[in-house]
A and B are shown apart, each in its own frame.
Chain A
Amino acid sequence: MPAISLVSILVTGSINIGGNAGIALPALNLTRYHASAATVGTQIGWTSNRFSLELGYSYAGLPGRPQGVYYLTLHNLTLCAAWEFLHRRSWGLELSLGGGTGFVRRTFGQALETGRAPSLLTGLGFVQQQGRSRFRLAFTNALFLQTPGGRLDASWIPQLRAHISYVL
Chain B
Amino acid sequence: MSCRYLLTLLCLFCACSNILYRAGGDYFPLNPGCWWKYLSDTDTVYVSVQDEDTVVKGRFCRVVFRNFYPEYWIKGPEAIEKFHVRVTGRPNTEDTLEARFGTVLALPLVDGSSWNDVFRDTIVIRGTDTIPYEHSLSGRVSMVDSISTPAGTFYDCYRVDFTERIIEQTAESTASVLWFAPGVGIVRRQTADDDEVLVEWGTE
A interface residues with partner B (beta carbon < 8 Å): 28-34, 64-66, 68, 70, 72, 100-102, 104, 106-118, 144-149, 153, 155
Q: Please tell me if B13 contacts chain A, counting CB pairs below 8 Å.
A: yes
Residues from chain B with Cβ under 8 Å of A114 in the complex: 17, 19
**Complex partner residue of A115 from B18, B108, B141, CB under 8 angstroms:** B18
Contact A155–B110 (Cβ < 8 Å): no
Q: Is the CB of B18 within 8 A of A28?
A: no
One digit per residue, 1 when the CB lies within 8 angstroms of any chain A CB and 0 when it does not, for chain B 101-116 equals: 0000011101111100
B154-198 residues at the A interface, CB under 8 angstroms: 154-156, 182
Q: Which residue of A lies closest to B153 (CB)?
A: A149
- The chain B residue with its CB closest to the CB of A149 is B155
Hey, what's the 0/1 contact readout for B22-52 against A, CB within 8 Å counting as 1? 1111100000000000000000000000000
**5 cross-chain pairs, A with B, having the tightest CB-CB distances, nearest first:** A115-B19, A29-B24, A115-B17, A111-B112, A111-B113
A107, B18: Cβ atoms closer than 8 Å = no
B16 touches A33 (CB 8 A): no
Residue of B nearest to A72 (CB): B23
Contacting residue for B24 out of A33, A70, A145, CB 8 A: A33
> Is the CB of B15 closer than 8 A to any CB of chain A?
yes
Q: Establish whether residues B21 and A32, one from each chain, have CB atoms under 8 Å apart when the complex forms.
A: no
How far is B19's CA from A118's CA once the two chains are assembled, in angstroms? 11
Known: A148-B155, A149-B155. A108 touches B113 (CB 8 A): yes
Measured CB to CB, the closest approach of chain B to A138, in angstroms, equals 22
- Inter-chain CA distance A31–B144, complex, in Å, is 22
Chain A residues near B26: list those with CB within 8 A: 29, 32
Q: How far is the CA of A31 from the CA of B26 in the complex (A)?
A: 11
A70 contacts B108, C-beta separation under 8 Å? yes
